[in-house]
Amino acid sequence: MQDATVRLDVNAVYNEVKNQYEIDVELPWVPKEAVDLQILPHGVMVRAKRGKVNYRGVYTFFLPVEEDRVTARYSRGLLTVEAPLKDQYVSAKKVKIT
């Protein structure tokens, strides 16, 4: 029998006080070692496997995040990710006015 693929619901909210995205992904009965989290400036991808079931989920950020400052924890089937936003002015380019 072929493995089944299930789409994950990736729930994300923007926390204005902490200036970060807060992401929750439910992965019931999936061991922590079977969870793969990938982060990019403009999105997150979650993959997991339990038996013959492959779980997949993605979420695209409207604003870029600081990949090096992202934290994640996994407890009782809930993956929680905190992704701080990049300071938009750090990478701003000066434009010469003529």
| 66-79 tens-digit pLDDT | 999 999 999 999 99
- What is d(CA 78, CA 75) in angstroms, rounded to the nearest whole number? 5
Q: What is the DSSP letter of 63?
A: S
The rounded radius of gyration (Å) of the Cα atoms in the chain is: 17
Given a cut of 80, is residue 89 above it in pLDDT?
A: no
- Report pLDDT digits (tens) over 23-51: 999 998 999 999 999 999 899 999 999 99
What pLDDT score was predicted for residue 1? 67
Q: What residues does each domain of the chain span? A: 4-84
Whether the pLDDT of residue 63 is over 70: the answer is yes
Q: In what order do the strands lie in the sheet with 35-40?
A: 4-7, 53-60, 43-50, 35-40
pLDDT score recorded for residue 91: 64
Q: Does CATH number 2.60.40.790 belong to domain 4-84?
A: yes
Q: Minimal CA–CA distance to 1: which of 43, 69, 44, 51?
A: 51
What is the rounded average pLDDT for all residues in the chain?
92
Distance CA 17, CA 37 (A): 25
Q: What is the pLDDT of residue 41?
A: 87
Beta partners for 37? 46
